């Protein structure tokens, strides 16, 4: 099936957005570290099943180097990501993930030797302008008020940090994939992330562990974990069938799905202006990832 990668990419986008929405709902009564930890934990069963059928490729020192560098950065992004979801509306935080290409201009060049073309630069400008429009509801107070609003939204600031860190993990992740295989790297990477994050989740969330288990609140994270694992598997499988840039551009539909979830489940306001900004960011991202 020629366009199977498109279907898999859309499933990955839907899975990520659904996992985020369900995790945010769980955050309403649970500690963010416990939510982050157990979303990872409940992603393990599906990952481990697929691991049984994934061949081990020949690995070299470049794979291990990229893996070791990316993993601690990934741990930080997990913490910042879940905090951002807790502090601010999904429609105001998730679209900032599209800023990753802006940071990749320098990082991908330094790490992978990739250069930005004219259309890539045009896409980045659309991404930046789209992020500005996310707070366009505040523009009546002054042209630079949206920038000030971003500073007031701690969740948005944290997600911008996540976007920056993703530019590093994406670059090193691509390096690891080139020296192994997409599916092997994706599964082993997230299994390692589970192991590394466990002590952090326990130490930071131990005060809430009692009620978390006593009232069986952990059950609210079974589905987020499942969809998180499904996102990983479909993401990596799609990358095997097409160019990474094409796959990621389709997967960024998760941003728009996330905004819709924010409106439906959390009654987030100013959805129209934020959707417009997110759409511009998405178009810009398409130009960036498809640029020659």
Specify the number of domains making up the chain. Answer: 1
Structural domain span for residue 242 = 4-290
pLDDT, greater one: 142 or 22: 22
Rounded Cα distance between 277 and 272, Å, is: 9
| CA distances, 152 to each of 119, 133, 147, 148, 158 (Å) | 32, 15, 9, 6, 11
pLDDT exceeds 70 at position 246: no
Give the model's confidence band at 178: pLDDT under 50 very low, under 70 low, under 90 confident, else very high. confident
Highest mean pLDDT among 104-108, 187-191, 237-241: 187-191
70 and 176 in contact (C-beta within 8 Å)?
yes
What pLDDT is attached to residue 72?
Answer: 96
Please give the span between the terminal C-alpha atoms of the chain, in angstroms, as a whole number.
Answer: 26
pLDDT in the model for residue 1: 47
Average pLDDT over residues 125-151: 66
Rounded to whole angstroms, the Cα distance separating 159 from 202 reads 23
Are 5 and 190 contacting, i.e. CB atoms less than 8 angstroms apart?
no
In this structure, what token pair is assigned to residue 90? Answer: 């999904």
**286 vs 27, residue with greater confidence:** 27
CA 263 from chain centre, in angstroms, equals: 19
Higher pLDDT, 203 or 128: 203
Q: What are phi and psi of 54, to 5 degrees?
A: -105, 115
> What is d(CA 263, CA 96) in angstroms, rounded to the nearest whole number?
17
11-15 long-range CB contacts below 8 Å, 24 or more apart? 11/230, 11/234, 12/230, 12/231, 12/234, 12/235, 12/238, 12/251, 12/254, 13/250, 13/251, 13/252, 13/253, 13/254, 13/257, 14/253, 14/254, 14/257, 15/227, 15/228, 15/230, 15/231, 15/234
**Measuring CA to CA, which residue among 236, 115, 118, 121 is closest to residue 173?**
236
Instruction: Report the alpha-carbon distance of residue 28 to residue 10 in Å, rounded.
Output: 28
Task: Give exposure, 98-133, as e/b (b: 16+ Cβ within 10 Å).
Answer: bbbbbbbbebbeebeeeebeeebeebbebbeebbbb
């Amino acid at each position: 099936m020629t366009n199977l990668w498109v279907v898999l990419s859309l499933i990955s986008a839907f899975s990520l957005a659904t996992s985020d929405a369900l995790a945010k709902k769980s955050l309403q009564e649970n500690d963010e570290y416990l939510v982050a930890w157990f979303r990872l934990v409940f992603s393990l069963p599906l990952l481990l099943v697929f691991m049984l059928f994934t061949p081990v490729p020949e690995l070299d020192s470049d794979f291990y180097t990229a893996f070791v560098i990316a993993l601690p950065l990934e741990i930080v992004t997990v913490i910042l990501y879940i905090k951002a979801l807790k502090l601010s509306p999904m429609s105001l935080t998730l679209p900032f993930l599209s800023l990753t290409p802006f940071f990749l201009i320098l990082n991908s060049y330094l790490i992978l030797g990739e250069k930005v073309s004219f259309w890539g630069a045009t896409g980045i400008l659309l991404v930046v302008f789209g992020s500005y429009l996310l707070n366009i509801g505040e523009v009546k107070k002054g042209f630079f008020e949206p920038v000030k609003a971003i500073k007031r939204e701690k969740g948005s600031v944290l997600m911008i940090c996540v976007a920056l860190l993703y530019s590093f993990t994406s670059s090193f992740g691509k390096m690891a994939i080139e020296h192994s295989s997409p599916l092997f790297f994706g599964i082993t990477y997230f299994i390692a992330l589970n192991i590394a994050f466990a002590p952090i989740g326990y130490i930071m969330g131990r005060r809430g562990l009692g009620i978390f288990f006593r009232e069986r609140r952990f059950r609210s994270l079974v589905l987020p974990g499942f969809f998180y694992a499904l996102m990983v598997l479909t993401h990596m499988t799609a990358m095997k069938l097409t160019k990474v840039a094409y796959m990621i551009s389709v997967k960024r539909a998760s941003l728009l799905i996330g905004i819709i979830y924010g409106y439906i489940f959390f009654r987030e306001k100013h959805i129209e202006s934020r959707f417009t900004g997110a759409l511009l960011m998405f178009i810009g991202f398409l130009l960036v990832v498809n640029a020659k």
